[in-house]
Amino acid sequence: MTDPAIIIFLTGGLFLGWSLGANDAANVFGTAVGSRMVRFTTAALICGIFVILGAIISGTGTSLTLGKLGAVNALGGSFMAALAAGLTVYWMTKFGLPVSTSQAIIGSIIGWNLFSDSYTDLSSLLKILSTWVVCPLLSALIAALLFTLAKSFVRKVSIGLIRLDGYTRLALILAGAFGAYSLGANNIANVMGVFVPVAPFTDIQVGSIFRISSIQQLFLLGGLAIAVGVFTYSKRVMMTVGSELITLTPLAAWVAVMAHSIVLFLFASERLEQFLANLSLPTIPLVPVSSSQAVVGAVIGIGIVQGGRELQWQRIYSIVRGWVITPIISLLICIVGLYFLQNVFQQTVKRESQYQLSSGVLEQFRKAGINTDELDTLTGSVFFSSAEVVRAVKAVVPLSSQQGLKVVEYSLQNSLVINAEKLSAIDKHFLSTQQLEALKQLEGEKYKYSWQLGNALAQKSKEWELRGDGLKNKLKDREIKRKLAYLYRLFKEEEK
């Protein structure tokens, strides 16, 4: 029987999904609806269908993560982080302000970090915060350029107004459908991903060829929650993006959607990053950016090209103010909620972890470039939070933000057991033949720290080696680290 607590905690993710649909649907159909090119009911129907399809078909492949900021490690904490973000987005949506779900989640994660005394990587945080400025500016620039080129193209080809409107309407619908699919695929993990380990469903087999996994059922629920949010509460935000900032022509509406999509692609495409690296060109960091900020920036860019006189600057100021206070509100709600959940309702919001500075851990520090000359006095020390161990090391030797992450990574105790049963469960297509053979040679081995398994695999096969020097090697190392993270989760010894 499913634990009732799991169902209750699941509602936090469902509410966040509803809030996401209510707010973020404006990013893919707001300009189309605001320009009167697509009716709201049509936009909501298409958006709802493709959000659900994206969640079910591609949701499990979502790679965007905010793990460097902090990993919520308990079901109660996940529930409150999702609920705090959902409440914040709902409040902003009620005022018709297009805010970012990722902004709200970042606020919640930092709130959980403060409450649980977990380490926050300031360099990653500052990088994300900087994109909240760069994203709308870049989107405005791209929209301005694209709008100028599009107008020039339309004049040269001399397309009739009726035909042009038809083409534009079709382009807006297609772009919106793709945007809605991407919304479901890319955001469903943020909404429901933390509940995957405790999915209260069993696989459903339909006939002999069709199977719906428990995760797909979970993502279906999240997709439905997003779709319900689109239908019930997204119209006001769509009108804010599409008409209250500036009156958009059909062509301008299409430009806004395209500029928004291009910006998201630039900051999210690993293939583009690899392509630029192969050409020895500077790469664009893979940082989560706000689709709300991108589409608002695009609308502003179009307005500036048209002279800027029609832009509603007071409304723009209200939106920017919403961007600033969203993570702060989410942070405060999360901290207060965690306190009540833990102390009033007696729920676990943080799983206990231990961090030990053994001699082997100090050796890993040295390899990572951390000065360990004066850390011998801490050998054998045990800490019970990631922030605590970083503070202890930082009190003795200087640490950069990235070195703080290494301290947490190497000192965390994570008992692993390589057993035959779990070896047989590995997806054979995920590892290369050489990587799998190296792993099989370690059957029966036990490790106290995750990095010990990584080192053992690197000694067995060069395909497990992390090189680290140079951008190209770092990109290759990222794929190896993903595989190692999968193994760390798979072989983690279950708590008794």
Domain boundaries, the chain: 4-343, 355-490
The whole-chain average pLDDT of the chain stands at 83
Confidence (pLDDT) at 2: 53
CB proximity list for 234: less than 8 A, separation 6 or greater: 21, 22, 23, 25, 26, 44, 47, 93
Q: Using an 8 Å Cβ cutoff, are 56 and 122 in contact?
A: no
Q: SS in 3 state form for the chain?
A: CCCHHHHHHHHHHHHHHHHHHHHHHHHHHHHHHHCCCCCHHHHHHHHHHHHHHHHHHHHHHCCCCCCCCCCCCCHHHHHHHHHHHHHHHHHHHHCCCCCCHHHHHHHHHHHHHHHHCCCCCHHHHHHHHHHHHHHHHHHHHHHHHHHHHHHHHHHHHCCCHHHHHHHHHHHHHHHHHHHHHHHHHHHHHHHHHHHHHHCCCCCEEECCCEEECHHHHHHHHHHHHHHHHHHHHCHHHHHHHHHHCCCCCHHHHHHHHHHHHHHHHHHHCHHHHHHHHHCCCCCCCCCCCCHHHHHHHHHHHHHHHCCCCCCCHHHHHHHHHHHHHHHHHHHHHHHHHHHHHHHCCCCCCCCCCCEECCHHHHHHHHHCCCCCCCCHHHCCCEECCHHHHHHHHHCCCCCCHHHHHHHHHHHEEEEEECCHHHHCCCCCCCCCHHHHHHHHCCCCCEEEEHHHHHHHHHHHCHHHCCCCCCHHHHHHHHHHHHHHHHHHHHCECCCC
| Higher local confidence (pLDDT), 57 or 156 | 156
Q: Which residue has the tokens 């048209």?
A: 306
Dihedral angle at the C-alpha atoms of 438, 443, 447, 452, nearest 10 degrees? -10
Mean pLDDT of 96-116: 85
Per-residue pLDDT tens over the stretch 371-426: 998 898 999 999 999 999 999 999 999 999 889 999 999 999 999 999 998 888 77
In this predicted structure, what is the pLDDT of residue 309?
Answer: 81
Least confident of 158-172, 320-334, 463-477: 463-477
pLDDT digits (tens, 9 = 90+) for 12-69: 888 888 888 887 777 778 778 877 788 889 989 998 998 888 777 765 544 444 566 7
Q: Can you give the pLDDT at residue 442?
A: 95
Mean pLDDT lowest among 195-204, 286-295, 472-481: 195-204
Could you give the percent of the chain with pLDDT greater than 90? Answer: 30
pLDDT at 363: 94
Percentage of residues of the chain with pLDDT beyond 70: 85
Does position 138 have pLDDT exceeding 90, yes or no? Answer: yes
Region of 383 please: left (phi>0), alpha (psi -120 to 50) or beta.
beta
Token code pair at residue 97: 């302000």
- Residue 61 pLDDT: 46
Whole-number pLDDT of residue 332: 97
Instruction: Looking at mean pLDDT, say which of 66-80, 86-100, 436-450 comes out highest.
Output: 436-450
**What's the rounded Cα separation, in Å, for the pair 195 and 398?**
38
pLDDT at residue number 64 = 45
In this structure, which amino acid lies at residue 103? Q
With 60 as the cut, is the pLDDT of residue 150 above it? yes
Give the alpha-carbon dihedral of 16, 333, 4, 199, to 10 degrees.
40
pLDDT at 444 over 90: yes
Diameter of the chain by CA atoms?
A: 80
Question: How many CA atoms, within 13 angstroms, populate the side-chain half-sphere of residue 234?
Answer: 35
- Is the per-residue pLDDT at 197 higher than 60? no
- In this structure, the number of other CB atoms found within 10 A of the CB of residue 82 comes to 31
Inform me whether the pLDDT recorded for 207 exceeds 70. no
Confidence class for position 155, pLDDT limits 50, 70, 90: confident
CA dist., res. 176 & res. 412, Å (int): 44
Q: What is the spatial distance between Cα 460 and Cα 487, in angstroms, rounded to a whole number?
A: 16
Q: How confident is the model at residue 99, as a pLDDT?
A: 76
- Length of the chain (residues): 496
Q: Which of 308-317, 395-404, 437-446 has the lowest mean pLDDT?
A: 308-317
Q: How far apart are CA 387 and CA 404, in angstroms?
A: 9
CA distance 129 to 97: 19
Mutual orientation of helices 214-233 and 161-192 as an angle, nearest 10°? 130
d(CA 252, CA 254): 5
How far is it, in rounded angstroms, from Cα 435 to Cα 209? 31
Of the pLDDT bands very low, low, confident and very high (cuts 50, 70, 90), residue 211 is low
Chain position carrying tokens 């800027």: 308
Distance (Å, whole) CA 192 – CA 15: 10
Residues near 494 by beta carbon (within 8 Å), at least 6 away in sequence: none
Nearest to 78 by CA among 462, 326, 420, 334: 334
Q: Which of 83-92, 263-272, 452-461 has the lowest mean pLDDT?
A: 263-272
What is the arithmetic mean of pLDDT over 423-438? 83
pLDDT at 1 over 50: no
Nearest CA to 237 out of 440, 138, 98, 113 is that of: 98
Q: Which has more pLDDT, 57 or 136?
A: 136
